């Protein structure tokens, strides 16, 4: 039986919504935020610079962020999928170029707080201003603040199949590193452009069915 090392994106993948985007639309200046995101998508600035611009005009206290997080949902089938993978002996990692402060609160809400999480984080000052913390920036490709390709490479173990599940531009550096890709939205478009093979998926039931087939047959 094959064992999988599964790397899962958070915003728009494990979480139903792009929580990071909603975070900035809620607590930042939407015009500044949208301009920064567009500059990042055009490749003009790194995601670290995008976040610095957005956070300069963001005001939020920890309790407000916790309340915001409590309203978020996971994608259909996500919890069942993760528990099945863990029962099967697979490893599951959450990798995000977003911020651990809201991801942790949401994982906790669904009882998934023990999942290993690699993400950026935020520090609060008493006036409500937010400072980004980029623990993995030194390993970045120059485009990501938290480059997912780095985590895939550093955690690789011989004999395990590496799987990536994602939906967006921040997943680009991971998909060329793994054995099996599940992609939707912008990530699927990117894989099409680059000729990277992937399984299209809508929800985690799809992912689970395909992975179980691979586990049994190869
Ligand atoms: Mg995403
Ligand atoms: Zn990268």
pLDDT tens track for 144-171: 999 999 999 999 999 999 999 999 999 9
Closest CA to 146 of 172, 167, 123, 165: 172
> Looking at the predicted structure, is the pLDDT value of residue 217 above 90?
no
Domain containing residue 84: 4-217
> Looking at the predicted structure, is the pLDDT value of residue 218 above 70?
no
Tell me: the pLDDT tens digits for 177-212?
Answer: 999 999 999 999 999 999 999 999 999 999 999 999
Find the 94 Cα to ligand 1 centroid distance in Å.
Answer: 11
pLDDT mean across residues, the chain: 96
Find the 171 Cα to ligand 2 centroid distance in Å.
Answer: 8
Total residues found in the chain within this entry: 218
Assign residue 13 the CATH number of its domain.
3.40.50.1000
Q: Which of the ligands is closest to the CA of residue 10?
A: 1
> Looking at the predicted structure, is the pLDDT value of residue 5 above 70?
yes
pLDDT attached to residue 127? 80
Lowest mean pLDDT among 66-80, 122-136, 180-194: 122-136
Task: Using the Cα atoms of residue 191, residue 4, residue 12 and residue 119 in order, give the sign of their dihedral.
Answer: negative
pLDDT attached to residue 209? 97
pLDDT attached to residue 129? 87
Find the 187 Cα to ligand 2 centroid distance in Å.
Answer: 14
Q: Which of the ligands is closest to the CA of residue 169?
A: 1
Q: How many domains are contained in the chain?
A: 1
pLDDT attached to residue 90? 97
Per the listing, tokens 């299209």 go with 200
CA distance 75 to 11: 10
Mean of the pLDDT values across residues 99-124? 97
CA distance 10 to 211: 19
Find the 152 Cα to ligand 2 centroid distance in Å.
Answer: 11
pTM of model > 0.85: yes
């Amino acid at each position: 039986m094959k064992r999988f090392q599964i790397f899962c994106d958070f915003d728009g993948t494990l979480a139903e919504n792009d929580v990071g985007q909603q975070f900035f639309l809620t607590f930042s200046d939407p015009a500044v935020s949208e301009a920064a995101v567009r500059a990042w998508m055009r490749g003009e600035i790194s995601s670290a610079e995008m976040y610095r611009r957005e956070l300069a005009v963001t005001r939020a206290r920890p309790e407000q962020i916790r309340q915001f997080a409590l309203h978020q949902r996971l994608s259909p089938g996500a919890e069942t999928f993760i528990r099945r993978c863990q029962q099967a002996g697979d490893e599951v990692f959450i990798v995000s170029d977003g911020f651990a402060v809201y991801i942790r609160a949401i994982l906790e809400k669904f009882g998934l707080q023990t999942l290993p999480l690699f993400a950026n984080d935020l520090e609060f000052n008493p006036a409500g201003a937010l400072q980004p913390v980029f623990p993995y920036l030194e390993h970045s490709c120059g485009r990501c603040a938290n480059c997912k390709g780095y985590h895939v490479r550093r955690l690789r173990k011989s004999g395990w199949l590496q799987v990536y599940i994602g939906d967006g531009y921040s997943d680009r550096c991971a998909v060329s590193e793994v054995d099996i890709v599940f992609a939707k939205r912008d990530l699927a478009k990117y894989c099409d452009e680059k000729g990277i093979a992937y399984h299209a998926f809508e929800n985690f039931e799809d992912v689970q069915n395909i992975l179980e087939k691979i586990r049994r047959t190869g």
